[in-house]
């Protein structure tokens, strides 16, 4: 079977959805020995050439959000026919509006955030997703989603057969793990990032739905503790201008962008607590990365976070800043409690493996 994959996400900075694709492509050659895989992109990709056939299409000077629908609905179908693709797989839920004869469509629908709250996405992007996602969900022969919560949310907002939706839990990069860093290396990293004795870490986009302002309120609760710093790592997103104005007004909060995975995995190991009070998550990769690294997690008890973190962390109402602050202090002052939550996180993280994710995905491909 010829399987085509929309791989354009790998041509820009990799975030949550792109990370799904990157990990899948890394593992698929170990699992699937009978299908042929075609990766469709604008330009050449750094992939395993002996396994994947990288089909380069056309580039454009138009902005990505304008050109993408054109590529998706006119250029991609042309190449699907040319390469005789039997199955098209998209990790970002956007598919061509019309079926190519003889080609099945499978999409990953991570979430339906555009239906959740108008403050979570820019108006034009929200409307773009609402329009194209509606048709993609309808035209998909099968939908893969990444949590039971997301499946429930899809069924809530769309009239779709429940049997058409398959939940496949995702996994974090295996490079995120407990590390035995030298004392001097820890000191160097802390000095470089201007950290103090204790670090409360957040990793993710700086945007409204992540409740960064909530993290700042927790920081305000603990501002008398001069040896505690809050470290925010991530790119700018919707609402970041207002958020960063608040961040810059606080001496106990530090922001960093452009942190690569090599440094990030070390930061997970020098931080003391991971704080993630997000309002909406289809899955929640950073808390899983933290648990997998042995870093105790405090997260919101909503959407998919309650499902993914579960007993592996401390869950709170995302607006209960006082309780989150109290838990941080308890973790820092009570070593037995700290080790208990660390071990619970490590155990919980073992439930999410790349091998399982890829095997279940390939099994879905082979079901057609």
pLDDT digits (tens, 9 = 90+) for 224-264: 999 999 999 999 999 999 999 999 999 999 999 989 889 99
pLDDT at residue 25 tops 70 = yes
pLDDT at 15: 67
Q: Picking from 71-85, 113-127, 261-275, 338-352, which range would have the lowest pLDDT averaged per residue?
A: 113-127
Asked whether 236 and 304 are in contact (CB, 8 A), the reply is no
Residue 100 clears pLDDT 90, i.e. is over it: yes
pLDDT score for 64: 79
Instruction: Identify the three-state secondary structure at position 92.
Output: coil
Q: What is the mean pLDDT of residues 85-94?
A: 93
What pLDDT, on a 0 to 100 scale, did the predictor assign at position 234?
A: 94
Q: What angle do CA 50, 52, 55 make, to 5 degrees?
A: 125
pLDDT at 20: 84
Domains and CATH numbers, the chain: 2-171+353-366 (3.40.50.2000), 183-349 (3.40.50.2000)
User: What does the DSSP assignment read for 13-28?
Assistant: ---HHHHHHHHHHHHH
Consecutive H or E run containing 10: none
In degrees and rounded to multiples of 5, residue 194 shows phi and psi of 60, 45
Average pLDDT, the chain: 94
Against a cut of 0.75, is the pTM above it? yes
Name residue, tokens 């104005």: 245
pLDDT at 189: 96
**Percentage above 70 pLDDT, the chain:** 99
Q: Above 70 in pLDDT, residue 168?
A: yes
For residue 83, give every residue at least 6 positions away whose Cβ sits within 8 Å of its Cβ, in sequence order, or none. Answer: 2, 4, 38, 53, 55
- Name 365's Cβ contacts closer than 8 Å, sequence gap at least 6: 1, 3, 32, 35, 87, 89, 106
Question: Which of 337, 339, 344 has the alpha carbon at shortest distance from 312?
Answer: 344
d(CA 65, CA 84): 27
Give the largest CA-CA distance in the chain.
Answer: 65
């Amino acid at each position: 079977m010829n399987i085509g994959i929309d791989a354009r996400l790998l041509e820009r900075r990799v975030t949550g959805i792109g990370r799904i694709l990157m990990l899948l492509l890394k593992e698929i050659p170990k699992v699937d020995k009978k299908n042929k895989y075609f990766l469709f992109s604008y330009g050449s990709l750094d992939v395993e050439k002996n396994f994947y056939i990288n089909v380069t299409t056309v580039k454009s000077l138009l902005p990505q959000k304008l050109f993408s629908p054109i590529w998706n609905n006119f250029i991609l179908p042309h190449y699907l026919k040319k390469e005789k693709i039997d199955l098209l797989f998209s990790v970002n839920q956007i598919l061509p509006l019309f079926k190519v004869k003889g080609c099945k469509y499978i999409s990953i629908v991570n979430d339906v955030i555009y239906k959740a709250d108008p403050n979570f996405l820019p108006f034009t992007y929200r409307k773009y997703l609402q329009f194209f996602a509606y048709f993609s969900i309808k035209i998909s022969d099968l939908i893969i989603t990444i949590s039971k919560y997301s499946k429930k949310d899809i069924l809530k907002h769309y009239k779709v057969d429940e049997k058409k939706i398959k939940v496949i839990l995702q996994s974090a990069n295996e490079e995120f793990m407990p590390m035995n860093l030298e004392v001097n290396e820890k000191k160097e990293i802390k000095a470089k990032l201007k950290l103090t004795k204790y670090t409360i870490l957040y990793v993710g986009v700086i945007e409204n739905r992540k409740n960064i302002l909530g993290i700042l309120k927790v920081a305000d609760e603990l501002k008398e503790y001069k040896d505690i710093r809050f470290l925010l790592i991530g790119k700018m997103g919707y609402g970041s201008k207002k958020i960063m104005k608040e961040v810059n007004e606080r001496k106990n909060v530090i922001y960093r962008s452009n942190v690569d995975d090599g440094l990030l995995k070390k930061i997970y190991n020098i931080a003391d607590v991971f704080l993630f009070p997000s309002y909406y998550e289809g899955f929640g990769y950073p808390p899983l990365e933290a648990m997998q690294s042995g870093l105790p997690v405090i997260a919101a008890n909503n959407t998919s976070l309650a499902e993914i973190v579960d007993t592996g962390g401390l869950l709170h109402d995302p607006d209960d800043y006082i309780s989150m602050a109290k838990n941080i202090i308890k973790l820092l002052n009570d070593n037995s409690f700290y080790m208990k939550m660390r071990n619970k996180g490590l155990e919980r993280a073992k439930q999410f493996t790349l091998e399982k994710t890829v095997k279940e995905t390939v099994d879905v491909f082979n079901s057609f």
